[in-house]
Amino acid sequence: MNFEIAELVAVAPEITLLSLACVVLLVDLFICDSCRIVTWLLTLGSLLVTAAVVAMGMGGESQILFSGSIVRDAMGDVLKIAILLITTMVFLYSKEYQQERGLYRGEYFVLGLFGVLGMMILVSTHSFLTLYLGLELMSLSMYAMVALQRDSARASEAAMKYFVLGALASGMLLYGISMIYGATGTLNVGEVANAIQLQSGDQDLNLVLVFGLVFMVSGIAFKLGAVPFHMWVPDVYHGAPTSVTLYIGSAPKIAAFAMVMRLLVDGLGGLVVDWQPMLIILALLSMAFGNVIAIAQTNLKRMLAYSGISHIGFLLLGVLSGTEAGFESAMFYAITYALTSAGGFGMILLMSHRGFEAEEISDYKGLAKKSPWFALMMLILMFSMAGVPPTVGFYAKLAVLQQVISVDLVWLAVAAVFFSIIGAYYYLRVIKTIYFDMPDEDAVASPQFGLDPAGLTLSANALVVLVLGLFPGQLMMICQSAIG
């Protein structure tokens, strides 16, 4: 039993967020409905303070703490800051939407904060046990957030589907973990890697390991939303209130990327020849199905859901290359995708108002005439998702493709480009609707540029996407130093 105060300092961000979330929970109990803005401000404050605490503790050697439960390293710190900042944006976007729909309640903020805590634990996990607990903390908060709109049958259905399928995925992941535990006798990620290294070549052991690996990859694919484990994604994205869709569709993707890294690369890196083909299949199917089915969607939320599936395929391309540079490109992709996705759903939030969800693509007809500024922002975001230069989406795709080619999987890169071109169609269709279609006569008023938080956040978000596309070097360098 050895315990040092230094260990507590290293997990200061998690402790800070947990305490602040409890403060938000308690403060919200005692304030009246009209001063709910206090909860909102406190939530934003908690996220920013936690981000500052992470930033202060950055640098130095990576440390493994609490008897190997968690690890604090450069990758974890960078991903945590990205998660915290993107979630701050999510709350900035969703204030007005929540107010108009009776969802502006303390539970939403508390669940959101605890979800972020789960993501942070997931990012810094160094043991299968903490990984599972972090994953459940994140997922439970998200199930509840989807269901918060109780009077909506669609939201309840989405929450139910999400919950049941999510529980199934957790079960598969756990079964895989139990197999790996049976084969290596430890839950610690580092020790698992050592055990695999030592016993490589043992056929009997390998059978057990690969059997566990299959279940683990299935569980991960479920959480990522990769085809063929993607069934829940469109229904949940569509059924949940848009503010919750925004939450689910952005920061958790970064956490899921971290989960892939910790499990497959840090833990089961010795089995790369076994998981590489599995990820190739997942990536190919995700890019193919995601992009092709998205073409048929008339609902913007569903379209973005399928687009999200195809982006997960691209993200997996970076991981499956199995090189350090590949992981860097995948990390870059995860962060920039979360940013772009936040912008896309943020636009829906901004456009919608009381009694009008702005979900259909046709709702955006002639937006360029009514509010040229936001139309331009949407143009940047759609270009970024499609991968059109000079936005960041182009650079992210380029970086991933370079790594795929560098490990001699040229055919895979060609397929990825082919499906991206198919995908470009539906992103450009949104732009065409905005710029070249005539607005309907009875169209409702669209947002004008003002000083409201959502509008400012969207402008900042889209401009960051553009600036990162012009100068990707800085973020790429951060990713390089984080993985290297």
Token duo for residue 480: 């390089």
What is the dihedral sign for C-alpha 276, 282, 286, 289? Answer: positive
For residue 430, which of 374, 382, 372, 359 has the smallest C-alpha distance? 382
Q: Give the containing element (helix H, strand E) for 65.
A: strand 63-65
Calculated CA dihedral for residues 434, 435, 441, 446, nearest 10 degrees: 50
Rounded to the nearest whole angstrom, what is the least distance from the CB of residue 320 to other proteins in the complex? Answer: 24
Instruction: Please give the structure tokens belonging to residue 241.
Output: 């209130």
444 forms part of the interface with other proteins (CB under 8 A)? no
Instruction: Give the binding range for other proteins (CB under 8 A) out of 204-212, 225-233, 241-249, 389-397.
Output: 204-212
Nearer to other proteins, 267 or 393 (CB): 267
Helices assigned H by DSSP within 61-188: 74-100, 106-123, 128-147, 153-184
- Least distance from C-beta 483 to other proteins, angstroms? 24
In the complex, the smallest distance separating the C-beta of residue 68 from other proteins, rounded to whole angstroms, is 8
Determine the Cα–Cα distance for residues 310 and 253; give it in Å rounded to an integer.
Answer: 13
Quote the CA–CA distance of 463 and 351 in Å, as a whole number. Answer: 18
Does 360 contact other proteins by CB under 8 A?
Answer: no
Contacts of 110 by beta carbon, 8 Å cutoff, 6+ apart: 21, 24, 25, 28
Q: Does 127 bind other proteins (CB under 8 A)?
A: yes
DSSP codes joined into one string, 210-236: HHHHHHHHHHHHHHHT-TTS-THHHHH
- Binding flag, residue 207, other proteins (CB under 8 A): yes
Asked if 11 is part of the footprint of other proteins (rule: CB under 8 A), the reply reads yes
Contacts of 227 (CB under 8 A, 6+ apart): 282, 285, 286, 288, 289, 290, 309, 313
Q: Which of 182, 228, 277, 473 binds other proteins (CB under 8 A)?
A: 182
Q: Tell me: does residue 105 bind other proteins (CB under 8 A).
A: yes
Pick one of 133, 405, 460, 467: the residue that binds other proteins (CB under 8 A): 133
Q: Which is nearer to other proteins, 112 or 469 (CB)?
A: 112
Which one, 145 or 305, has the nearer CB to other proteins?
145
Distance separating alpha carbons of residues 73 and 111, to the nearest angstrom: 26
Report how far residue 93's alpha carbon sits from residue 97's, in angstroms, rounded to the nearest whole number: 8
**19 near other proteins, rule: CB under 8 A:** no
Min. distance of Cβ 330 from other proteins in angstroms?
A: 26
Q: What is the rounded CA–CA span in Å between residue 31 and residue 125? A: 36
Closest approach, Cβ 147 to other proteins, in A, equals 6
Where in 54-93 is the site for other proteins (CB under 8 A)? 65-67, 69-70
CB crowding 376-410: b at 16 or more within 10 Å, else e:
bbbbbbbbbbbbbebbbbbbbbebbbebbeebebe
Binding flag, residue 183, other proteins (CB under 8 A):
yes
Tokens of 446: 């669209």
Least CB distance to other proteins at residue 283 (A)? 25
CA distance 338 to 86: 8
Is residue 31 close enough to count as binding other proteins by CB under 8 A?
no
Q: Specify the stretch interacting with other proteins by CB under 8 A; choose among 48-56, 147-155, 307-315, 362-370.
A: 147-155
Among 31, 49, 55, 140, binds other proteins (CB under 8 A): 140
Which of 94, 130, 250, 286 touches other proteins (CB under 8 A)?
130
Residue 107 touching other proteins (CB under 8 A): yes
CB burial of 443-481 (b: ≥16 within 10 Å; e: otherwise) equals eeebbeeeeebbbebbbebbebbbebbeebeebbebbbe
137 near other proteins, rule: CB under 8 A: yes
**Closest distance of CB 453 from other proteins, Å:** 24
**Residue 338 burial by CB count (10 A; 0-12/13-18/19+): exposed, middle or buried?**
buried
429 near other proteins, rule: CB under 8 A: no
- Tell the smallest beta-carbon distance from residue 114 to other proteins (Å): 5
* Binding piece for other proteins, criterion CB under 8 A, among 85-93, 136-144, 335-343, 375-383: 136-144
373 interacts with other proteins by CB under 8 A: no
Which of 82, 148, 261, 279 is close enough to bind other proteins by CB under 8 A? Answer: 148
Tell which one of 64, 84, 110, 193 touches other proteins (CB under 8 A): 110
Query: How many residues sit close enough to other proteins to count as binding (CB under 8 A)?
Result: 40
134 makes contact with other proteins (CB under 8 A): yes
Site string for other proteins, 208-247 (x = CB under 8 A): x--x------------------------------------
Nearer to other proteins, 23 or 443 (CB): 23
Q: Quick count: other Cβ atoms within 10 Å of Cβ 288?
A: 18
152-184 burial: b if 16+ Cβ within 10 Å, else e: beebeebbebbbebbeebbebbebbbebbeebb
Q: Where does this chain bind other proteins (CB under 8 A)?
A: 1, 3, 11, 18, 22, 25, 65-67, 69-70, 105, 107, 110-111, 114, 117, 121, 127, 129-130, 133-134, 136-137, 140-141, 143-144, 147-148, 150, 179, 182-183, 204-205, 207-208, 211
